[in-house]
Amino acid sequence: MKKIIPVRRDVKINLDESRVNNWHEAGPHVTHFFNALSVLFPAGERLFMDSVRAFKDQVQDPDLKKAITAFIGQEALHSREHEEYNEMMDRSGAPALKLDRMLWNLLGGLQNVLGKKMALAGTIALEHYTAIMANAVLSDPNVTGKNSDEGFRQVWQWHAYEETEHKAVAYDVWNEVMPDNVYNRFIRRFGMVLASVIFWPVVMYFHARLVFADPNTKGKHAQGYKAVAKILLGKGGIFRNAISDFFDYFRADFHPWMHDNSAFLDEIDAFVAQVNKAMRNPNDEVKKAVRARMAKNVAAAAA
């Protein structure tokens, strides 16, 4: 498959702060599942950017070099939008920024202990998770909910489109810079095991913290957790349909584009244009403040 070079797009999504804890049509518990993922992004995507950037100088392929720059630029913009989202959660009483700080510390420590190679192995494993979730979001409108709040649906759809577009970049870096030997093949697979045993407990813990900080979930946990299980593992759920895609990661001939969903890429520009046109309140002060604070991060990513 031809190398896909991602594109940085300055999306302007307007989120309705009053809906931040209950934007999903399936209720607050499912909302908090997506919100827990949102809390993971600023620190998680920084790890991805750093891990790929660390090997940029060893990459010879000019198209892959361009793809790396665009990958870093996209992840920086994702973080910017999720910072705004997470700050809204925090203002609503959710411990979003506390959890965010906890994750920065955890991932910073892990990066130091594990080193550059293991960090890249973890990154390509987590990019496989995001690619699977992104495919579910784009394939089935029930994942984000047809009747959910539009702004929140849009932020997840936009993120899913771009995660799909850049899903192979970190993997291609690994393939180009790591000699194909038994040790590196083991490390790539071990990266998935390690990423999984860290990712799921963190997601479950963050989810529980958000659920139990929200007074609107009180007395509704049985039905709420059932709704979360349905969206993850039920018929048409995110992972029910993707078990074999997940395990393909352990195949010797694995490549992210062996799951070819590139047809979604044709939809991105029209989607972003429509979202930007529909922006309801372009002069919002909070949005401006987050953008000003994150501008340095975004500019550094483009360099």
Task: List residues near Fe ion by CB under 5 A.
Answer: 75, 78, 163
Q: Is-contact 135 242, C-beta < 8 A? A: yes
Closer CB to Fe ion, 125 or 227, in the complex? 125
Q: Is 55 left (phi over 0), alpha (psi -120 to 50) or beta?
A: alpha
CA distances, 48 to each of 73, 100, 161, 248, 251 (Å): 11, 16, 17, 21, 23
Shortest approach of Fe ion to residue 223 CB, angstroms? 31
Nearest residue (beta carbon) to Fe ion? 78
Distance CA 10, CA 273 (A): 10
What is the amino acid identity at position 59?
V
Shortest approach of Fe ion to residue 6 CB, angstroms? 9
Shortest approach of Fe ion to residue 136 CB, angstroms? 15
Closer CB to Fe ion, 83 or 163, in the complex? 163
Shortest approach of Fe ion to residue 75 CB, angstroms? 5
CA distances, 55 to each of 110, 131, 199 (Å): 18, 22, 23
The CA-CA-CA angle for residues 180, 184, 189, to 5°, reads 120
Distance CA 22, CA 88 (A): 12
Shortest approach of Fe ion to residue 134 CB, angstroms? 9
Give residue for tokens 């180009």: 176
Closer CB to Fe ion, 12 or 230, in the complex? 12
Shortest approach of Fe ion to residue 161 CB, angstroms? 10
Tallying the residues shown for the chain, one arrives at: 303
Closer CB to Fe ion, 158 or 227, in the complex? 158
Closer CB to Fe ion, 162 or 214, in the complex? 162
Closer CB to Fe ion, 177 or 301, in the complex? 301
